[in-house]
Structure 1
């Protein structure tokens, strides 16, 4: 019988209930611990990510709801406003994530809720803007405040959950990135219909005020329930000493190491392995491969009675594109359960990459106004790759789990360099003046998806190569140990019988 078949027979069979939810086959005490952890960490992470995307998306909703005309924005001004936010977002991410390994996350994460309060304040101040330059400056500081959040939360999630749990948590948390823009669309519709002109403020300014107010209680909740890492969390009303012991044992079993000390050799070592050079490009390509989805709201905005024979209202422009977000939520959750059930991260990446590539090609080939139903459906299908963020970062957490500092650095680099490219690439590929056609943007998206799938396969190849090498090393070590033990036994036998050695 082969060793593979023997190993498969020794491996316990998972009950079907564990595929529905991964805690249902675990011991009661571990199940209670994970329930508490989910309630604290995932609740705060999802709510904060919701508020972050609410504040990130509102600028586009405001732009198509009167801000463009009120502030005399022209040409690619919206691209430049978005780039200002991206620049602020990029600057703070790597320093934030490196610091989280040196101080307790609750101390550093106390800054995360504080930064939430700051970005909510800057968001509300946007309602006072009177020109393009003030909007650019405020959006830069909103991005800088938000930079502390996403990589840090992904690192913390990767510090608590095992492989069959990680993708679901990362993706459940990530669905907030789709719910936030949905809510922003409905909010802008309500603000425009119900508050437009109240106290002399147009509806788009009320959107910024409401979004900022929504963020405040979420930030205050973060001060209370944001957890530390398993290795430095103290017993509290949330976690007992026994539950923390379970948490540390769980991470030890899968080789997820706690933080240690930075050394020059350790930092140089970050760049000597392949992880940085495949996972970061994989995430960069994923993050910059969904530009066709951004064109739908401008497609509705471009309709006029004079040229296309119809026009959409402000409410319709803000709500009709929300089907994209529904599609993203559904596919994100499907990927999460699919990936955890198979214990593989790459199959959903290939599926989503092929799908988005095909949709981008179809959009490039479809007339903008003569096939309205077809183009509408294609736009809804552009968001199927949006749920891959959680899977890629879950993969990064797993592949670098034996070095906490490297794990933090790689996760931060993935998100940072994704937004480095996002700061300028949309201006090149989907300039505002070419919306909604953006032919080269659609073609480029198809090429980007090919690149993403290629890096996913390269990551898979290198990870399996390392697994084989580690298995071969263990086998060699076991053989050496057996030979040494046999030699010792033979020597002992000879000494006992009095034979010369």
Structure 2
């Protein structure tokens, strides 16, 4: 049977609270922890490997969700790069693409994302993920396969629009349910709910008109969206890595496709390191800024076109290596906004919509295919916008500190933020549901 925290027991910091079971006093808690501690050759393993029910649930979720999301994101990465790989591998000549068609492929893709992002995010509050995720995955898969048979640029435009619609809808649904939590089965439901209650995490809520209007009265939606889209929209300069390599005239087609994967390898390693460090430090903003600085430096290196080849190569690698800033920003905003389920989902949806709305036209201006691989001001603009994203992180931290100082927010026993306005709103909702059970 799942263990539930005793409301009469004073919560403790960090992971220790998760071991508090019904009837366990604070004085007995250490013995309870040691009872479930795992050892290897006499050495205590990290708490993650404990054999209590709480840790088993976490490991089970990690096993299934991490496997699924890793494969899904891997395919998404291939989809992000395949159009560029195809372009330098013969598609340019086969389809007679001698203008800015490569840019328009990205534009139509971004327009598809814009068309589906917010509507399908709202739909996800009414339809369970077991329907949304596989539907979008299958539709996206068949559409990507369809590009292989495209004979004209116009056919590619249409397919790219539809791919963007289903791919990003699938991504948003996945992010939303990872952020809010997916309830497991049977006895684990109680434990899963208890874990969310311990940290003050509110569940997914249907968005009503009054709740929707209330979202726009908070600073969170504005500052987090600005931070999200400034980095997300201007951190894609690495997509033109293989065009630069092609201009050097000394690499084969396989090399043009393989060499840029060095950046993705760097991003993979950095993602693991950044995730571990941000958890260890319990400080998301520091790691976010560090990764943004990597991307900013990479754009700055590439912007100096007279620089040595080695410096430009390093620049392209750094642009890609800084990509974890986006995912850690999502983790940070979900922690800060944990008391408002509707706001958490809406920020990511609006942020993604703005990212692709900007990219729908900005990429044509900043990185016109006819000017490849030397762009007059593309990388300079990207570096400047990422710099503004770093400033926005500082503004968010200032606003959080101000809310803590004036009593609008507190830190709970887990060290996470709780905003009093959202707590009151949740209490009012619970009272309304109690008085009107038919509408619960």
TM range (shorter): 0.7 to 0.9
Check whether the contact 2:296–2:382 (CA below 8 A) recurs between aligned residues.
yes
Indicate conservation of the 8 Å contact 1:291/1:441, yes or no: no
SS of structure 1 residue aligned to 2:48? coil
**Alpha-carbon distance in 1 for matches of 2:120, 2:64:** 21
Q: Does 1:354 align with 2:293?
A: yes
What is the match of residue 123 of structure 1? 144
Q: What is the aligned counterpart of 1:270 among 212, 215, 220?
A: 215
Alignment of 1:391 onto 2:328: yes
Quick one: distance in 2 between partners of 1:67 and 1:473? Answer: 55
Shift of residue 313 of structure 1? 0.9
Work out which of the residue numbers 205, 209, 232 in structure 2 matches 1:287.
232
Q: Per the alignment, do residues 93 and 295 of structure 1 end up closer, same or farther by CA in structure 2, a change over 3 Å counting?
A: same
The answer on whether the counterparts of 1:75 and 1:432 sit within 8 Å (CA) in structure 2 is yes
1:469-488 equivalences in 2 (<5 Å): 469-470=407-408
Show structure 1 runs of 4+ deviating over 6 A. 12-15
Deviation at 1:155, TM superposition (A): 1.5
Paired with 2:45 and 2:206, the residues of 1 have a C-alpha distance of 36
Which ranges of structure 1 fall in alignment gaps of 5 or more residues?
1-9, 161-228, 305-310, 478-501
3-state SS in 2 of match to 1:24: helix
* Aligned pairs (5 A) from 1:222-261: 229-230=182-183, 235=185, 240-241=186-187, 243-261=188-206
Residue 47 of structure 1 and its aligned partner are, at CA, apart by: 1.3
- The 5 A counterparts of 1:447-462 are 447-462=384-399
CA contact (8 A) 1:112 1:149 kept: yes
Matched, 1:53 2:74: no
Deviation of 1:23 (Å): 4.9
CA contact (8 A) 2:125 2:207 kept: no
Q: Distance in 2 between matches of 1:298 and 1:436?
A: 6
- Structure 1 residues 295, 95: closer, same or farther in 2, change over 3 A? same
1:340 Cα deviation after fit: 1.1
Give the corresponding residue for 1:89: 113
Greater radius of gyration (CA): 1
Contact persistence 2:124–2:132 (CA under 8 A): no
Residue 359 (structure 2) aligns with: 422
Q: Is the 8 A contact 2:121 2:349 kept in 1?
A: yes
In structure 2, the partner of 1:105 is 129
1:62–1:246: structure 2 CA closer, same or farther, 3 Å change rule?
same
Counterparts of 2:165 and 2:147, CA distance in 1: 15
> Please, which moves more after superposition, 409-418 or 320-329?
409-418
1:139 is matched with which residue?
A: 160
1:413 matched to 2:368? The reply is no
Q: In the alignment, which of 152, 159, 162 is matched to residue 180 of structure 2?
A: 159
**8 A contact 2:301–2:311 mirrored in 1:** no
Instruction: Give the number of equivalent residue pairs.
Output: 377
Question: Within 1, Cα distance between the matches of 2:204 and 2:132?
Answer: 20
Which residue matches 2:171? 150
CA deviation map 1:242-280 (0-9, x unaligned): x22111111011111123443322110111101110111
1:294 positional shift: 2.1
The answer to whether the 8 A contact 1:23-1:34 is kept is: no
Where does residue 216 of structure 1 map in the other structure? none
C-alpha separation between the residues in 2 aligned to 1:391 and 1:287? 12
SS in 1 for 2:234: coil
- State the shift of 1:111 in Å: 2.9
TM-score (norm 2): 0.80
Distance in 1 between the 2:149 and 2:167 partners?
21
Determine if contact 2:105/2:160 at 8 Å carries over to the other structure. Answer: yes
Q: Could you say which residue in structure 1 is the equivalent of 2:373?
A: 436
**Alpha carbons of structure 1 residues 398 and 11: separation in structure 2 relative to 1, 3 Å:** closer
**CA separation in 2, counterparts of 1:293 and 1:465?**
37
* CA–CA separation in structure 2 for the residues paired with 1:390 and 1:360: 20
Contact in 2 for aligned 1:91/1:147 (Cα 8 Å) = no
The Cα shift of 1:464 comes to 2.6
Q: Summarize the Cα distance change of 1:270–1:262 in structure 2 as closer, same or farther, 3 Å threshold.
A: same
Aligned to 1:490: none
* TM-superposed deviation, 1:26: 5.3
* RMSD over aligned Cα atoms: 2.6
Higher relative contact order (CA 8 A, sep 6+): 1
Q: Residue 313 of structure 2 aligns with which residue?
A: 376
- The correspondence of residues 310-321 of structure 1 with structure 2, limited to 5 A, is 311-321=250-260
CA distance in 2, matches of 1:473, 1:398: 11
- Alignment partners' CA distance in 1, 2:97 and 2:327: 35
